[in-house]
Amino acid sequence: MGFLSLHTAAAKTLLILGDSLSAGYRMSAQQAWPALLNEKWQPNTTVINGSISGDTAAQGRARLPQLLKQHQPDWVLVELGGNDGLRGFPPQDVERDLRAIISAVKAANAKPLLMQIHLPANYGRRYTEAFSAIYPQIATSLSVPLVPFFMEQVYLKPEWMQQDGIHPSPEAQSFIADVMAKNLAPLVKHEASTNETANR
């Protein structure tokens, strides 16, 4: 009976709603870190990559209802806002769209997770600080876990960056998958996370 219940239990699903940092810019989808994370977490947790390069928070918000209907995820990691910031969009507009995304995720009985996004320093201190601040504000006010920005560590290794200085290279994807597995394991409840915690 235990054997049957183990195999009839549906795998939990994590949907990643992101932009080029998660879509695998200039590489195959199978090389990108969400695919590598999916390999790590099978069969207990399925990782669905719903990311599209170039997406703004508003575009992710527009695509979300169909993704929620199609995949019915247990968790949704929101990795959006970077393109808004690079285009100089008002932080309050980005915050509005991110809040709407989180509300839609909750309405679908899924648990939202929000990734912190930071902009390059050359965008000006006042703007970058105002932009970065919206993420902890949203996380606190809506009681949503805030996931650290994985690019902070990738930037430190030039060989992990593509020539544009914005996107991680294929060589960085395995590292990012490891970092995300560590950061998400306490939030995404799958069997492997219990073992990972016990081994620390």
Task: Identify which of 52, 66, 61, 64 has the alpha carbon closest to the alpha carbon of residue 19.
Answer: 52
Among the listed residues 51, 55, 167, 193, the single catalytic one is: 167
Instruction: Give yes or no for a cis peptide into 43 (omega within 30° of 0).
Output: yes
164 is catalytic: yes
Among the listed residues 5, 28, 143, 164, the single catalytic one is: 164
118 is catalytic: no
167 is catalytic: yes
Compute the distance between CA of residue 162 and CA of residue 123 in angstroms, rounded to an integer: 19
Compute the distance between CA of residue 67 and CA of residue 115 in angstroms, rounded to an integer: 18
Task: Identify which of 67, 66, 85 has the alpha carbon closest to the alpha carbon of residue 75.
Answer: 67
Among the listed residues 20, 22, 169, 193, the single catalytic one is: 20
- Ordered DSSP codes for 36-49: HHHHHHTTTEEEEE
Catalytic residue numbers read 20, 164, 167
